[in-house]
Amino acid sequence: MVDERDIKIIDILEENARTPHTKIAARLGVAESTIRKRIKALEKAGVIERYTIVVNPAKLGYNSISIVGLDVESTHFLDVAIRMTEFPEVKFVATSTGDHTIMTEIWLKDGRALGEFITEKIGKLEGVHRVCPAVIMEKLKVR
């Protein structure tokens, strides 16, 4: 069971996954061994799945970041979702009960590349009957 101290550890690691255990321990007023054991337990329980980085797409030349909703025939729903995970340009794929059955985040160089991606890749997937892109103007929070 996750307690308040575990939540505080997770909050610190979400700010910076490279925070040393000694610094976390100092912030929380406990021994480093306590932090190490708790983190190991959180990993073992699957609460912490992996450690990662947050990249600035513009610094890598990706100037068109889009949230793209897909409406897909129910008979092709899972196949399309899986196919979307195979495109390296697609950074996030989720199924949804909202306006669109599949939601994605796609990183491309520019608007022209987005149009080509929609036409040449998404549009050719069997069962896709509507593609609804929304270009991200500015990310205000990433966590």
Number of domains in the chain: 2
Query: Of 113, 19, 25, which Cα lies nearest the Cα of 62?
Result: 113
Span 87-135, pLDDT tens digits: 999 999 999 998 999 999 999 999 999 999 999 999 999 999 999 999 9
Residues 110 and 83 in one domain: yes
pTM: 0.84
Which has the closest alpha carbon to 118: 85, 70, 63, 78? 70
Structure confidence at residue 77 (pLDDT): 94
Residue 69 falls within a domain, yes or no? yes
CATH of residue 20: 1.10.10.10
The span from the CA of 9 to the CA of 143, in Å, is 15
CA distances from 113 to 22, 30, 60, 63 (A): 46, 51, 15, 10
pLDDT score of 142 more than 90: no
125 and 63, same structural domain? yes
Distance between CA atoms of residues 25 and 105, nearest Å:
36
Boundaries of domain holding 25: 4-44
Reported as a single tens digit per residue, the pLDDT across 42-75 is 999 999 999 999 899 999 999 999 999 999 999 9
